[in-house]
Structure 1
Amino acid sequence: MSGRLHAVHTWAACLGVAALSAAFSFIPWLHAIGLYQRDAVRAGQWWRIVTAMWVHLDTWHWLADAMAAAGVMLLLARVLRPQAIVGALVACGVLVQIALLSQPGVQWYGGLSGALHGLAAWGGLRLLRPQAEAVEDTGDHFSRWIGLLLCAGVLVKVWFEQSWLSPIAYDPHWGFGVVRIAHAFGAASGLLIWVFGEWRAQAGKQAQG
């Protein structure tokens, strides 16, 4: 993939994430059917597991997540393909919602933050150890430093939030309860997806050998 085409695909992915989350956040009927609601999911509305990551509670919530998503995606696109980045983001979001079913105290949830913690963890590990589907492995030490900082940032944030002690914490700045346990679930999801990718890569090498 040429550098220009890669840049076009990367920006298209960033805009696509922002546009999809805007649609679910600001179109009332999409917001209503998309938000994670524990009782609704348990009653059979399984699609909320997929859509909840795109729903935001207000403009500032959406803007913060959209900007964070663009920042992480642009950093990862130094080495990784946009398709892989978006795929990891969606996979982490779905895994977060599935994990939230184990938390009876979390009755509703929306937003990209859990998925973004997973993307940062997965992407950080990928930058530290690129695989065959990377755009190219140029030995770019700056990208590896980015990977190290992403991994360290996620670990430190999850540790200081102590979400296993208090899954939800009211934040007066946002005006709603932040589901911190979703951040921890996101980080774990990113690690899980990375391990799965490493296993697939090793299995592929053994098959070729």
Structure 2
Amino acid sequence: MVKAERALPGWPAMLAAVAGVAALAALFTFVPWMHAHGLYLRDAVRLEGQWWRLVTAMWVHLDTRHYLSDVAATAGLMLLAGREARVRESLTVLVVCGLAAQLALLAMPAVGWYGGLSGATHGLALWTALRLLQAPGWSRLIGVVTCVIVLGKVWLEQSWLAAVVFDPSWGFGVVRGAHAAGAVAGLGCWLLQEWWVARGKREG
């Protein structure tokens, strides 16, 4: 009973955060000017110095289906993370993994353009899974399953062989390299957080 009461105050904030993510992504997806200036374009970043595209690209989606798919995945992961993490932690990991995935694109010449939350969600998924692995009961089992899904997906995609692969079902190239980069960033976030907690315990 105590545990349930302690967990309840975080859910309104988590739902507000999910709504904020959906709204920001909607603006960059459906407002033409924001879409055009938010999308990652390799030449614009490297040759014209439009570095802000590395920050905004994660919020831009190519169509309604792409938007709904990414936002639904992000929302589900944030709500799942809410079992063991605070809202601020989930949002920070989402943004850090998105930025890491987009920075990694600079090392992938085959990727001329990119938009979407998929890189960020792969990182958030792995970070969430690792957090759940440290919890008791059903949370640990969910963490194991999520870890297997994320790591298995990254392995099967083999982005180190082809950073981007055209997917007929979507009608555009899926940037698998961003998925792998996001997952690595998610692992890095978890390791850094564990180090910080351990450091605090030693000093305390």
TM-score tier after normalising by the smaller chain length: over 0.9
Distance 1:44 1:203 in 2: 39
Q: Residue 61 of structure 1 aligns to a residue in which SS?
A: helix
Match of 2:171 in 1: 175
In the alignment, what sits opposite 2:69? Answer: 64
- 1:67-106 to structure 2, matched below 5 A, reads 67-106=72-111
- Matched residues in 1 for 2:6 and 2:25: separation? 29
Partner of 1:194: 190
SS of corresponding position for 1:178? strand
TM (norm. structure 1) is 0.91
1:55 and 2:60 correspond: yes
Matched, 1:127 2:129: no
- Give the 4+ runs in structure 1 shifted more than 2 A: 1-5
Letter of the 1:62 partner, please give it: Y
Number of the residue aligned with 1:45: 50
Whether the aligned pair in 2 keeps the contact of 1:96 and 1:186 (CA below 8 Å) is: yes
- RMSD of aligned Cα (Å): 1.3
Equivalent in the alignment of 2:202: 206
The total of aligned residue pairs comes to 199
For 2:114, the aligned partner's letter is Y
* Secondary structure of the structure 2 residue equivalent to 1:177: strand
2:146 matched residue in structure 1:
150
In the alignment, the residues of structure 1 paired with residue 189 and residue 85 of structure 2 have an alpha-carbon distance, to the nearest angstrom, of 15
TM-score by structure 2 length?
0.93
Gap regions ≥5 residues in structure 1: 130-138
Which structure has more helix as a fraction of its residues?
A: 2
Paired with 1:18 and 1:179, the residues of 2 have a C-alpha distance of 21
CA distance in 2, matches of 1:146, 1:205: 27
State the distance in 2 between where 1:162 and 1:197 align. 28
1:8 to 3, 12, 20: 12
In structure 2, how many angstroms separate the alpha carbons of the residues matched to 1:48 and 1:194?
A: 26
Q: In the TM superposition, what is the alpha-carbon distance from 1:2 to its structure 2 partner?
A: 4.5
How far, CA to CA, are the matches of 2:197 and 2:141 in structure 1? 23
**Offset of residue 143 of structure 1:** 1.1
Instruction: Please tell me the residue identity of whatever aligns with 1:199.
Output: W
> What do residues 101-125 of structure 1 show as CA deviations (whole Å, max 9, x unaligned)?
1011111100000100000011111
Structure 2 distance, partners of 1:194, 1:45, is: 30
State the Cα deviation string for residues 47-92 of structure 1 (Å, max 9, x = none). Answer: 1111100000000000000111111111111111111101100000
Q: Aligned to 1:101, what secondary structure does the other structure show?
A: helix
1:75, 1:146 within 8 Å by CA — same for their partners in 2? no
Question: How many angstroms apart in 1 are the aligned matches of 2:153 and 2:107?
Answer: 22
